[in-house]
Amino acid sequence: MPLALLALAIGTFGLGTTEFVPMGLLPQVAADFHVTIPTAGLMVTVYALGVMLGAPLMTALGTKMPRKRMLMLMLGLFVLGNLLSALAPSFGLMMVGRIVTSLAPGAFFGIGLVIAAELVAPEKKASAIAITLTGLTVANVVGVPLGTYIGQAAGWRTTFVLVAGLGVIGLLGIAKLVPELPRPEGVHLRHELAALRNPQVLLALAMTVLGFGGVFAAITYIAPMMTHVAGFSDSAVTWLLILFGIGMVIGNLIGGKFADRALIPMLYTALGGLAVVLGVFTLTAHSKILAAITVLVVGAFGFATVPPLNKRVLDHAHSAPTLASAVNVGAFNLGNALAAWLGGFVIAAGFGYTSPNWVGALMAASAVGLALWSAALERRDQRTAANANPGPVHSELTSC
């Protein structure tokens, strides 16, 4: 695997850290700006919405820019946004910093994953994608807990300055290690937009929303579920999230390896397994040991879906993959936001802290249904193509 994938992984590590670390620093941010914790939580919501909207926007604006330069520009925005957040004298300017930061991930992931796939042989594309995304998964094991600890000990502003430093390291790594890869000739914005009309691309995006969204239905409310139902202490939640992150790393690598061998069966396995384990989580959440094991398995099955889902989009938008890949990043964030809202809705309706697990299970099961539909359409198209282009024996018999 090319060393350039390491530079891309450093970038995704920084992006993953800045997305999730504010969740552990909400009390400190709220106290500093004299706002409520729910108000401070808006910096997480605004970031997710910014990623969803910024992914296609920034990618479209950068269609004529060399892709390596675009990656560096996105990390430049990432550094600027985190520094604005760190130095903000008011909560309003803090939110501006979060919005600036949110413009970077969609285009960075969209372009970076396309480049990662182009740097390797076709049969290793999913593995290259998985290596690039390793930075994101490791961020949940190392970056987020460490950033939370530093923020609680030395102040939340210190965490944002250090995260900005990660962006600088990633930018320098990309400048040094990532080669200048030309954009495909003749591909313009209209080609990128046309790729989004492909039914298979739309199905893959819908699978992303429902499949990975199912993970966030449960994980968004893991703290009250583990403390009120399983009986863990508040301090144990950090270690449970680390366990979840370890599962993500394992699932990401396995998903990348097997998606290169059999993409659709890997999707069936990952999405189906996720639906089952989320359903089971409703029962295992009442036992500390079983709950901890289930958190690990949810992370593994959840992130095992990511490489095949990304590869599915790239395969069916191969003539103009950049915008489709970026929109897929937005689809992940849309799924996260939708799942978090649905999970909160069923809790507010009085169904208990374990009810988001059933929401996630139903979302993942729906994604399995979409995968079956996608495979059926693919088989139909293959039969149509075979009938339209008969082999030489059939042609000779017809001519006789």
- Statement: residue 274 has pLDDT above 50: yes
Of 152, 43, 62, the closest CA to residue 114 belongs to 62
User: Percentage of residues in the chain with pLDDT exceeding 70?
Assistant: 92
- Statement: residue 32 has pLDDT above 60: yes
Question: Rounded mean pLDDT of 272-290?
Answer: 95
Residue type, 266: M
Tokens 């144990």 sit on residue: 236
3-class SS shares of the chain: helix, strand, coil, % to 5: 85, 0, 15
CATH of 187-384, one of 1.20.120.140, 3.30.70.260, 1.20.1250.20, 3.30.1490.20: 1.20.1250.20
- How much is the pLDDT for 397? 38
Of 329, 323, 319, 335, the closest CA to residue 370 belongs to 335
- How much is the pLDDT for 284? 96
How far apart (Å, rounded) are the C-alpha atoms in residues 119 and 179? Answer: 9
- How much is the pLDDT for 276? 96
> In this structure, how many other beta carbons lie within 10 angstroms of the beta carbon of residue 385?
9
CA Rg value for the chain:
22
- How much is the pLDDT for 192? 64
How far apart (Å, rounded) are the C-alpha atoms in residues 317 and 130? Answer: 19
- How much is the pLDDT for 189? 61
- How much is the pLDDT for 400? 34
How far apart (Å, rounded) are the C-alpha atoms in residues 288 and 25? Answer: 25
- How much is the pLDDT for 174? 93
The region of weakest confidence among 78-87, 185-194, 202-211, 355-364 is 185-194
- How much is the pLDDT for 372? 93
- Statement: residue 42 has pLDDT above 90: no
- The string of DSSP letters for 352-389 reads -TTHHHHHHHHHHHHHHHHHHHHHHHHHHHHHHHHHHS
User: Percentage of residues in the chain with pLDDT exceeding 90?
Assistant: 34
> In this structure, how many other beta carbons lie within 10 angstroms of the beta carbon of residue 182?
7
Fold of 1-180: Growth Hormone; Chain: A; (1.20.1250)
Asked whether 30 and 134 are in contact (CB, 8 A), the reply is: no
- How much is the pLDDT for 391? 56
Intra-chain end-to-end CA distance of the chain, in Å: 53
- Statement: residue 153 has pLDDT above 80: yes
In degrees and rounded to multiples of 5, residue 127 shows phi and psi of -65, -40
- How much is the pLDDT for 398? 41
- How much is the pLDDT for 109? 85
Residue type, 122: P
- How much is the pLDDT for 394? 47
- Statement: residue 322 has pLDDT above 80: no
How far apart (Å, rounded) are the C-alpha atoms in residues 35 and 57? Answer: 31
Summarised one tens digit per residue, pLDDT across range 100-151 is 999 998 889 888 888 888 888 887 887 888 888 888 888 888 888 888 888 8
Domain locations in the chain? 1-180, 187-384
- How much is the pLDDT for 344? 82
- How much is the pLDDT for 58? 86
